[in-house]
Amino acid sequence: MKNILNITIAASLLLVFTGCSQTEFEPESGLVKGEKIESTISIADLKTNYMTSSEQFTADRITSDNQIVINGIVTTTDIEGNIYKYVAIQEETAGGQAIRVSVDASGISSILPIGQRVSIVVNDLCIGKYGESPQIGVYFVRSKDAQISPGAIPMPIARECVTPYGEPDPVAVVADTMTIAEILAAPRAEMDYKLVCIKNAWFTGRGYEFGAPATIANKDKIFAPGTNGIGFPQSREIQDGTGSAAISTSEYAKFAQHPLPASTYKGNVTAIVSWYRKGTSAGSYQLTLRTLRDLGSGFDGYLRSVNYID
């Protein structure tokens, strides 16, 4: 019996020390560990020097014996699904430009949030145009029609060439206040993927087709009705008294089904500016809300009416 007792005690102790044991992990600090790499070229010069093909859909390889680096601050978030698989970065230098960097990752803002400063080594990536809108990506040929464009950079490559440094600083992301008229009049290169804030803007309740306002049915007076999976963004007109522009929303945005703000709401609209032109159409700017919170001062009542919680 004594043997049995000893064995039982010993075995019980073993159980405690084996099956139940586990490694304790310290939480990661969350610090961004990268170091800034100094720019060797501005975004403007990158476009000028390397985006050489003239078509509307292009992808030109960035090749050089030297390291080519751009820097900027992330101005976008995909948290509400309206921005998908890209980040826009804005140079913080005077007169600096912005550009879209396509990354093949939904949820990219989880690691590149608004206000994250990044250095990007662009060697061997492509810079090109999608509907004349400049982007950085990899070379991509669409299988169904052989259309060339900058494709989304696979995450393992993105991790190699995009270096975040410093803690995110969303306060440093400041939209440039402009009227619609000023946006339309500015050189395109300066406006591509720029974050702007339009004051005293309102939704007219109309859509936008082929670069011009268009009447839509009452049931479609939401940000983005579904497209049965085709996936093109939907445009809704805003005005600010100086001009008319299109707010472009994906049907996959979390606020896609929300009713458009009544035209009685007038206030600040912050948006990313981009351009799209295909074929012989005139082309037009699209304004993309990052989140519904981009409807700022003046839209508070509307946000309450749709129970918006960010």
Partner 1 sequence: MRKVLFLLLVSVAGVATLFAQTFVKGVVKISGTENPLSGVKITLLQQNISTQTNANGEFMLSYIEPGDDELSISRQGYFTQIKLVNIVAGKENDLGVFELKVDLQDEVKQENIIQLSENELDADDSGAAQISSGNLSAKGDVYNSQTSYSFSPMRFRTRGYDNKYESTYINGVHFIDPERGGFNYSSLGGLNNAFRNKDVNYGYAPNAFNFGNLGYNTNISAKASTFATGSHANIAFSNRAYKIRGQFTHGTGILNNGWAFAASGIVRWATDDGILKSNVDGNFYNSGGLFLSAEKKLNDNQSLSLVVFGAPTRRTSQAAVTKETHDLVGGSVYYNPYWGYQNGKIRNSRIVETFDPTAILSHDWKISETQRLRTGLGFHYSWYSNSGFGYDGLHPSPDYYRNMPSFVSSDDNAQQRLTDIWKNDEYTRQTKWDEMYRANMFNNIERPDGQARYILERRHNDLMETILNSIYTNQLNENLKLTAGIEARVSKGMHYATIDDLLGANQYIDKDTYAERDLVGGTLQDADPRIIENNMNDSVKTKHDGDIIRYNYDLNVTTANAFAQAEWKISRFDIYAGLKATYTQFYRYGHMENGRAWYLREVKNQDVNSYGKSDTWFFTDPSVKAGFSFNIDNRSYITANALAETRAPLVQDVYVSERIKDVLAPNLSTEKILSYDLSYAFNYKTIRGRLSGFRTHVSDAVEKYGYYDDAYRTFINHLLNGVNKMYQGVELGVSVPLNTMFTVSAAGTYADYSYTDNASGTKSYENGAEEDVEETVLIKGLKVNAGPQMAANVTLDFFSNLWFADITLNYYDNNYLDFAPNRFTEANQAEMKNYPELYDKLGKQEKLKGGFMLDASVGKLIYLKNRRSLNFNLSVSNLLNNTELITGGYQQARIPRNSDISINAAGADWFLNKYYYAWGVNLFFHVGYKF
Window 165 to 184, contacts with partner 1 (CB under 8 A): 168, 170
Binding to partner 1 in span 180-219, by CB under 8 A: none
Q: Is 3 helix (H, G, I), strand (E, B) or coil?
A: helix
Q: Which stretch binds partner 1 (CB under 8 A): 6-14, 178-186, 208-216, 296-304?
A: 6-14
2 vs 264, beta carbon nearer partner 1 = 2
- Does 81 bind partner 1 (CB under 8 A)? Our answer is yes
Binding to partner 1 in span 257-296, by CB under 8 A: 257
Asked whether the beta carbons of 79 and 133 are under 8 A apart, the reply is no
Half-sphere exposure of 83 (CA within 13 A, CB side): 33
Q: Any residues with CB less than 8 A from the CB of 92 and at least 6 apart, and which? A: 71, 72, 73, 117, 172
Q: Is residue 240 left, alpha or beta, with left meaning phi > 0 and alpha meaning psi from -120 to 50? A: alpha
Can you tell me which of 136, 238, 256, 287 binds partner 1, judged by CB under 8 A? 256
5 vs 282, beta carbon nearer partner 1 = 5
Can you tell me which of 226, 241, 263, 297 binds partner 1, judged by CB under 8 A? 226
27 vs 279, beta carbon nearer partner 1 = 27
Q: Pattern of binders to partner 1 over 99-138, x per CB under 8 A?
A: -----xxxxx-xx-xx---------x-x-----------x
- Does 64 bind partner 1 (CB under 8 A)? Our answer is no
Which DSSP symbol is given to 242?
A: S
Distance CA 3, CA 73 (A): 71
Cβ 95 to partner 1 shortest distance, Å? 29
- Does 153 bind partner 1 (CB under 8 A)? Our answer is yes
Residues touching partner 1, count (CB under 8 A): 73
- Does 221 bind partner 1 (CB under 8 A)? Our answer is no
Binding to partner 1 in span 16-35, by CB under 8 A: 16-23, 25-32
- Does 159 bind partner 1 (CB under 8 A)? Our answer is yes
Cβ 191 to partner 1 shortest distance, Å? 26
Cβ 55 to partner 1 shortest distance, Å? 16
Q: E strands of the chain, at which residues? A: 58-61, 69-74, 86-90, 98-102, 117-121, 126-130, 133-141, 148-151, 162-165, 176-177, 195-209, 212-214, 234-239, 244-249, 267-276, 284-288
- Does 230 bind partner 1 (CB under 8 A)? Our answer is yes
Q: Name the nearest CA neighbour of 310 among 138, 80, 126, 53.
A: 80
Per-residue CA distances from 264 to 193, 223, 258, 261, 267 (Å): 29, 17, 16, 8, 10
- Does 253 bind partner 1 (CB under 8 A)? Our answer is yes
10 vs 185, beta carbon nearer partner 1 = 10
Which DSSP symbol is given to 294?
A: G
Structure tokens at 99: 């550009």
Can you tell me which of 96, 128, 134, 151 binds partner 1, judged by CB under 8 A? 151
